[in-house]
């Protein structure tokens, strides 16, 4: 199987959550409006409970659907039984967590909501998804994320991130095209 297709396939449950969070988010911010000790908002209004839950749920649901297609498409599965739940929670919630951690550090740097931070914006969710999946399903992670797949993900993700952000901006789901 083409490594590019496998890399994209394996990352879909991590690619989907932030887009769905932008579409279905809003409401109460995760930081409840609290200000950190540096005088800046802890996370800001862009990280909400509804967006985090919706984004994570969409990634998990997509992963379950992909798992049904995997044997017919000749692509890797996301595990079975409890392992599948660990993998999909790791990829989806980890993606959301990576983005939340990046927002925390962007606020510390004095960057406003939506301000670009090159490389961090493109890979924060990837690192978050990988770390949580390594923690929850290490055997599955290392069996599927070979060095080749990891390198491909690190190359294609910034490109996909830019394209999806432009689309999100044009359809009105995002305030900025980056």
Mind listing the pLDDT tens digit for each residue in 31-64? 999 999 999 999 999 999 999 999 999 999 999 9
How many domains does the structure of the chain reveal? Answer: 1
What is the value of pTM for the model shown?
A: 0.90
How far apart CA 137 and CA 85 sit, in angstroms, is 9
| Domain-embedded: residue 178 | no
Is the pLDDT score of 127 beyond 70?
Answer: yes
| Domain-embedded: residue 177 | no
Is the pLDDT score of 152 beyond 90?
Answer: yes
Decide if 18 contacts 99 (C-beta within 8 A): yes
Instruction: Determine phi and psi for 35, rounding to 5 degrees.
Output: -105, 135
| Domain-embedded: residue 153 | yes
| Domain-embedded: residue 176 | no
Structural domain boundaries enclosing 48: 3-170
């Amino acid at each position: 199987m083409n490594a590019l297709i496998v890399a994209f396939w394996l990352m879909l449950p991590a690619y989907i959550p932030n887009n769905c969070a932008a579409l279905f988010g809003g409401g109460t911010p995760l930081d409840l409006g609290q200000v950190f000790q540096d005088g800046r908002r802890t996370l800001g209004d862009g990280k909400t409970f509804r967006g985090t839950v919706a984004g994570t749920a969409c990634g998990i649901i997509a992963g379950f659907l992909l798992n049904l297609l995997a044997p017919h498409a000749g692509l890797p599965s996301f595990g079975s039984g409890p392992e599948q739940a660990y993998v999909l929670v790791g990829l989806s919630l980890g993606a959301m967590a990576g983005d939340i951690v990046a927002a925390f550090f962007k606020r510390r740097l004095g960057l406003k909501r939506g301000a670009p931070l090159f490389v961090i914006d493109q890979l924060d969710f990837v690192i978050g998804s990988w770390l949580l999946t390594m923690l929850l399903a290490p055997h599955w992670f290392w069996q599927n994320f070979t060095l080749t797949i990891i390198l491909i993900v690190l190359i294609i993700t910034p490109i996909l991130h830019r394209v999806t952000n432009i689309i999100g901006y044009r359809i009105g789901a995002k305030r900025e095209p980056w």
